[in-house]
Each structure stands twice: as structure tokens, then as C-alpha cells.
């Protein structure tokens, strides 16, 4: 099974984003957290900034939209060339329509669920998505504690994905460190977002290697 490590630039120095990005060139994708201060009580940046980040990033972008109204906003991130675009299940009544639109534009289509959101309604429509993000903290802020109680959702997803032979990525986001990544990997995750554990390290590149090793152990 291939493992992906996607550092979250939420934990990077926003004023020196280009050097932060060059320190993580061994990452698979760069995780970019878009927040609108409505869906979550925090605000980051929008399409213009993401487009610029993409221009200077050594690796493709994994965009995580913590915003209302993904019907309106998500396609723009696919159009600017993001590799994957993930929107929240709680933010839309038409997740399949949003995902189809993202795929039509050429992005991997991801759906995210908060810790309190059930995964069962999505198990039968997994083929509509290329990625499912199980949030392992409440979305909105970096540096929070990993919630192991979200792991049963990954087990259900990995079983359902195995049944249909889907190549869907199972992603976790929040509190991922060398201590927790193995728990998520064991439960079935293959794609790991890590913010503070990567950018707080003296050598972010080395930290990515250590996480990769801990996930495969």
C-alpha cells in the first residue's frame, strides 16, 4: 500500500511560505487549509493565494475546503490546477454533484467528515469520490489532540473500499505525529496530513521521512 504524507501549511510561516514549501519537497502533496470563518471559526485564504502557492510549490496541492457553499467555490480550486479538492459533507446537500463537477474539471474529488459526522451514508456511494477525509480533530485549528474515537470510521471505509475494489485515498487530518500515525495507518488510512509535527521540527524534510516510516511500521 502506498503511503502519502501531506504537510499542512497552516502550521508554516505564512510570510515565508516559499521557503517553507522548499523545506518539504519530499512530501507527496501540500495540504492547503481554506477557511471562511463561517463553516469554521477561523479564516485563512482564498483562491488567489492558493493559486500563487501552487506556482511556487515543489509538489502538487491537496486543498481542504472548510467553507460553506462548496457548490459555488470548490470548482475554482480544481480549475486553478489543485491535484485534489476536498469539501465538507456537512456543508452541502449535493455532495455527489460537487464531486462530479470536480472530476469533470480534472481534480481528485474528496469528501471530508467532522469527528461527529457519521460515515455510513457515504459507504454505498464511495465510487463517486477519490478521497475521503476523516477529521481526527474538530476542523478549524492546528495543534489539537488526535481523536482515536474516529478510527472506527476508517475501518468501515477501508472495508467498504476493499469490497468495491476502489482506489480511493483514505485521509486523516489533525494531531498526526510519530505517536499517532501508526494508529491511523492500522485503522486503514493511507494519506496523512501533518501540520505542527512537520513544521515545528528542526528539519521538516527529515520529519516527513520519520512519519513515513512510522506509518509503514
Residues at the interface with ligand DX5 (CB under 6 A): 8, 10-11, 31, 33, 64, 137, 139-144, 173-176, 193-197
173 known ligand binder: yes
> Among residue numbers 60 through 89, which ones bind Zn ion (CB under 5 A)?
64
Which residue of 136, 173, 189, 198 would you call a contact of Zn ion, by CB under 5 A?
173
Report which secondary-structure segment, H or E, holds 17: helix 17-22
Give the 3-state secondary structure of 124-179: CCHHHCCEEEEECCCCCCCCCCCCHHHHHHHHHHHHHHHHHCCCCEEEEECCCCCC
Residue 106 annotated as binding site: no
Closest of 3, 1, 2, 13 to residue 195, by C-alpha:
13
Nearer to ligand DX5, 95 or 139 (CB): 139
CA torsion sign for 170, 83, 38, 15 is positive
Does 190 bind Zn ion (CB under 5 A)? Our answer is: no
- Nearer to ligand DX5 (CB atom), residue 49 or residue 166: 49
35 contacts 42 by C-beta, under 8 angstroms: yes
Query: Is 88 assigned a ligand-binding role in the annotation?
Result: no
204 touches, from Zn ion, ligand DX5, none (C-beta below 5 to 8 Å by class):
none
**Annotated binding residue at 196?**
yes
Mark whether 173 is an active-site residue: yes
Nearest residue by C-beta to Zn ion?
64
Q: Is 13 a catalytic residue?
A: no
Where is 205: in which H helix or E strand?
helix 204-216
Q: Which is nearer to ligand DX5, 85 or 160 (CB)?
A: 85
Identify which of residues 164 and 200 has a Cβ nearer to Zn ion in the complex: 200
Cell of 210: 520519520
Summarize as ranges the residues that interact with Zn ion (CB under 5 A): 33, 64, 173
Which residues are tagged catalytic?
33, 173
Amino acid at each position: 500500500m502506498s503511503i502519502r504524507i501531506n504537510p499542512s501549511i497552516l502550521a508554516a510561516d505564512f510570510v515565508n511560505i516559499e521557503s517553507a514549501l522548499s523545506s518539504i519537497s519530499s512530501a507527496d502533496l501540500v495540504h492547503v487549509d481554506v477557511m471562511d470563518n463561517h463553516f469554521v471559526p477561523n479564516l485563512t485564504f482564498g483562491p488567489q493565494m492558493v493559486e500563487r502557492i501552487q506556482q511556487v510549490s515543489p509538489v502538487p496541492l491537496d486543498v481542504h475546503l472548510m467553507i460553506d457553499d462548496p457548490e459555488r467555490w470548490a470548482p475554482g480550486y480544481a480549475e486553478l490546477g489543485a491535484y485534489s479538492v476536498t469539501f465538507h459533507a456537512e456543508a452541502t446537500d449535493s455532495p455527489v454533484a460537487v464531486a462530479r463537477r470536480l472530476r469533470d474539471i480534472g481534480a481528485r474529488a474528496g469528501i471530508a467528515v467532522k469527528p461527529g459526522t457519521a460515515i455510513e451514508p457515504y459507504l454505498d456511494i464511495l465510487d463517486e469520490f477519490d478521497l475521503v477525509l476523516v477529521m481526527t480533530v474538530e476542523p478549524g485549528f492546528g495543534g489539537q489532540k488526535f481523536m482515536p474515537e474516529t478510527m472506527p470510521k476508517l475501518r468501515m471505509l477501508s472495508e467498504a473500499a476493499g469490497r468495491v475494489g476502489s482506489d480511493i485515498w483514505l485521509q486523516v487530518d489533525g494531531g498526526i505525529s510519530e505517536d499517532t500515525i501508526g494508529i491511523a495507518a492500522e485503522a486503514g488510512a493511507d494519506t496523512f496530513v501533518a501540520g505542527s509535527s512537520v513544521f515545528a521540527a528542526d528539519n521538516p524534510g527529515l520529519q516527513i521521512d520519520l512519519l513515513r516510516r512510522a506509518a509503514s511500521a
